[in-house]
């Protein structure tokens, strides 16, 4: 299992366009991909799940991957998020 924590930088948070693109990126992998925010965990491959979280700018999120291509999945998702300036990676124990 791969786990990373991020601070949301995008002005709009992870809603609308960033959420849609993130879900599409996650769907490229066979691994289970989970997004956790504010104590709630959803399937990152589900746009309804991601949108239901209402993640605003400045929030901290956690993404986890588990499965056959978990490392590749995490690397691809991190690359998408950081290239799009959606998030910055932080230490797991940061708040």
CB 94 within 8 A of CB 37: no
pLDDT, greater one: 50 or 84: 50
At residue 93 the predicted structure's pLDDT band, cuts being 50, 70 and 90, is: low
Average pLDDT over residues 31-43: 98
- pLDDT in the model for residue 85: 81
Q: What is the pLDDT of residue 30?
A: 98
Using the predicted structure, report yes or no on whether residue 14 has a pLDDT greater than 90.
Answer: yes
In CATH terms, the superfamily for domain 2-90 is HPr-like (3.30.1340.10)
Domain ranges, ordered by start, for the chain = 2-90
CB 87 within 8 A of CB 40: no
């Amino acid at each position: 299992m791969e786990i990373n924590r991020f601070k949301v930088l995008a002005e709009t948070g992870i809603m609308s366009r960033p959420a849609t693109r993130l879900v599409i990126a996650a769907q490229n992998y066979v691994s289970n991909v989970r997004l956790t925010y504010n104590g709630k965990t959803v399937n990152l491959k589900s746009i309804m799940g991601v949108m239901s979280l209402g993640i605003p700018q400045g929030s901290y999120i956690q993404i986890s991957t588990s499965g056959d291509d978990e490392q590749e999945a995490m690397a691809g998702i991190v690359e998408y998020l950081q290239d799009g300036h959606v998030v910055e990676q932080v230490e797991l124990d940061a708040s």
